[in-house]
Amino acid sequence: MSELLRIEKLSAGYGEAVVLHDISLALGEGQTLALLGRNGTGKTTLINTLAGATRQHGGSIALGGAALHKLSPYQRAAAGIGWVPQERNIFKSLTVHENLTAVERPGAWNPQRVYEMFPRLAERKRNLGTQLSGGEQQMLAVGRALVVNPRLLLLDEPLEGLAPIIVEELLRAIRRITQDEGLAAIIVEQHPQAILAISDEAVVLDHGTVVHADRAASLRAQPEVLERLLGVAR
């Protein structure tokens, strides 16, 4: 398996405030990484840094061997970063279909494939973003990231605040995208068991540093370690 992402001695934050300290990790083509940690440990900052939305103070980021840390957010999207932030960032004044076509790039993923994966969006393709439920907005945010046709998908707490039936639907979609379609992904989530079940690797952050790294299946099988690192056994 060839390497897709390499982060070396990364320090980053907001303005002069440094949140991440000396982060180093690697991810292979087609692999999924569960990014775990208690609230405020730097998970979102790491996702935002990969997308180009923070200030980088040191270190390097390479995607497919090319320097990513020197690129603007727009250039990173063109280089292969698909980003689903916590805020979702859909265009609420545009229809579902316009949201997808506005960012679409040539490749395997197009609006029709998004509609096949999320039939709810197909039913609401002419609805404005403001007319969607929270779960539908999250599906649209994932679809928008996919039609960019990324090499690496970044998902920041994609299940947060959603009804259980929507959580199951999104988990099935993420499993299809990563395991069946082979798209590499980094997933931040407060429900570790759900994400560890569909991930290859796992990293736990604390105070902006990596404090634990393991195979996802190994960490999932050790509830006592999850309890110690995250304060949750399930």
Task: Tell me the pairing of strands 32-36 and 201-206.
Answer: parallel
pLDDT digits (tens, 9 = 90+) for 215-231: 999 999 999 999 999 98
Looking at residue 232, what is its pLDDT? 61
pLDDT digits (tens, 9 = 90+) for 107-158: 999 999 999 999 999 999 999 999 999 999 999 999 999 999 999 999 999 9
Distance CA 181, CA 176 (A): 6
Between 189 and 201, residue with greater pLDDT: 201
Report the amino acid identity of residue 182: G
> What is the pTM assigned to this prediction?
0.94
Over residues 36-46, the mean pLDDT reads 95
Please, which pLDDT band fits residue 182 given cuts at 50, 70 and 90?
A: very high
Q: 1, 29 in Cβ contact below 8 A?
A: yes
Looking at residue 234, what is its pLDDT? 46
Looking at residue 231, what is its pLDDT? 80
Q: H-type helices in the chain, by residue range? A: 43-51, 73-79, 96-103, 111-117, 119-123, 134-147, 164-175, 192-196, 216-220, 223-230
Enter the tokens of residue 180.
């069946």
Q: Which domains does the chain have, with CATH numbers?
A: 3-80+150-230 (3.40.50.300)
